[in-house]
Structure 1
Amino acid sequence: MTELHAAPHDADAIEKVSREFREAFGSEPEGVFSAPGRVNIIGEHVDYQQGLCVPMAISHRCFVAARRTDAGVVRMRSVQSGETVEASAPGLAPGAVDGWASYVAGVVWALADRFEGGVASGVDLLIDGYVPLGAGLSSSAALECAVAAAIEELCKLGTTPHERIRAAIKAETEFAGAATGGLDQSASILCEEGHAILLDCRDFSTTSVPWDLAGQGLALLIIDTRAPHSLVGGEYAERRAQAEAGARALGVESLRDVPFEGASDACRGITDPVVQRRSRHIINEIERVREFAEILETGSIREGLARIAELLNASHDSLRDDYEVTVPELDVAVEAAREAGAHGARMTGGGFGGSVIALVEADRVETVAGAVESAFAEHSFTEPVFFLATPSRGAGRDR
């Protein structure tokens, strides 16, 4: 039987992180906070062209136990690494902390202008994460957003959810030095249980859309292909540059501004064939998201299931053929899931490794997972890991 890796019960995770905090810092935490990882259902590689995406929060979360101190130090301990890192609270600046702790300290730094001197008092933070690493499920955003929730409440900053999103983005891009477009942080903070969000990357406005999979006898299977997942080779930056070249060639600020009607003719006017394909993917993907969200807004996934499957499949095929960001493991997982009866399957995330999602009947989850597992064995790929994605709540206080 294929193993499905479930998230721990929240109560168990809360008790564990509280116990770890007591052992690490010798006192009770003032509160426990958490934020979810995310999976992007559709809308890939369009965020940096002001496009539309439909992400959802998953049940796998990052938990943070926290307490204010008068030590003038930010003390951070990770259960996963077993490491404790300390940094001067008033001296936080990019470059002061590296590694996983930079994502934590970066949030404190990004929120510092809201503190009215309170940041200098210090804080202890104990982190315990359950979002799978390297699977493209935004473990870093979950960490940032859980810390932002903790700092907001303990220090009574009065920030809005969108201000915390911006702080998390600033922490990742300016303090930790990693690339993010804001999709991950928006989903981690704004999602509601049983819903996804339609995210407009032009102004980061969001609309909650029904995505009650269990209520309609469906499940979203996440397949972590465990293929090496790295964008450090410049592929991500290259795709962004090609998309920008496409917008320039078409005389628009972003490819979001190209009307879908007539887009095929417009793209044929781009002389560089590679830039033409990149642009075609983005324009078509944005339209796929529009249609996908319209189906969800009716509240009945079942009634639009056939079209949903077509949109998910078309998204992956475009990412494979026009955007060229898939790898053999992703394509094999998608094909195996489709052949086993999935209602659509696609890669999710930046590509070049990472995960696949498959929309399946709830009683066929193990059948589809087993088919993917067998296909990987036939290709001598590393054995994949499977998760069920439950549409979950955003960041907040747990205790």
Structure 2
Amino acid sequence: MKYNHKLRRTAISSVIATVVLGSISTSAMAEVKFGALYPLSGGLALLGEESYRGLELAVDQINENGGVQGETVVLETGDAVDNNQAIGEARRLISQEDVKAIFGTYSSSRSIAASQVAEMSKVPYFELGAVADDVTERGLSYVFRTNPTAYHMAETIIDMLVNSIASELEVDPAELRIGIIHEDSNYGSSVAKHQRTFAEQEGLNIVMEEHYPASIVDMSSIILSLKNEEVDVVLQTSYQDDSVLFLRQANERDYQPKAIIGGGGGYSMTPTAEAVGHDVIDGVFDVDFTQYNVNPDFAPGIEDFQAAYEEKYEEAPRSGHSLINYAGALELLRAIDAGNGFSADEIKKAVLAMDVPDGETAAGMGIKIGENNQNERASMMGMQWQDGELVTVYPEEASVADIRTHQ
């Protein structure tokens, strides 16, 4: 696979040189446009921007190595601040900007809304970060997802609880009283559904489940219910604001379960830890995309990614959302580069030919598009906040620290 299309100068006559230089200039000006659709303002802007940065770094790398099929990749950006705007921006990117495909979108509900527009217009839509089942379970032909899903998140949460956390607590998993709380969009509902299924398969005791809007401003009643039900382990699927709210109010009300296991970016972001205090979040678990304190042998290239991120944005990565978007976008762009043309079907053919083995991306996962146009090699990691850092503790081959408990 070739990624470097540099032209070598030769000693030729001035007339031929002029023609060649003119060709180089024309080639250098050739561009192909792709859409980048993320929530860049509003309540989801922090993780939306973090996700966009990963795509941007992948495009930078591709362009430094000759672009895609010899053309420079240009990102046309849309702000998916809510579902209606996601739809409107998808239409604009397709009809006015003539993008060949759209990358996005982090938020499951926005992804579901916008990708329907792309499907109707026969424009490929690449989801790099949204986890809800419906993103790829609607039978759409031009919607592809590289990142792990709600299924993977729930599976890893229950596996880590049963196989690692319970043993550290020195308790039979079946004796634990489990409470599931989640924000009520496609995202939280999808994860909770799979948590119930996996928990039942393992014979776990779910004593409470409650959902709430992500915009909730008071979780005291939920915390009271958790205390009244004597919940030992809380499973929360959330965004950032509701993660912060729950941790703050649980601490204020002296609610100290044996374990809190968060699902998603709210629990994996440095700003969340800073907002609630490292003394409060210390010991809390999180299951999410690959984060940065991970065995580098498991995620080759992660150190180079961090260096490129810090050079471009003058700060450390704030979440693994940038990493998962980078890893997926980079391989998709490489696949398109190895293809032939930019029509929807030519891009689809190139993407379906992807075959990246496990352990060959900076996120550790492989990429092969399978049933429902979902990456069948996607996976999630188990992390824990320890001494001010989010460190990988599960699975063992990716871990850099042992699980800690306060029991």
- TM-score, structure 1 as length reference: 0.26
Query: Which of the two has greater strand per residue?
Result: 1
- TM-score, structure 2 as length reference: 0.26
Higher relative contact order (CA 8 A, sep 6+): 1
Structure with bigger gyration radius: 2
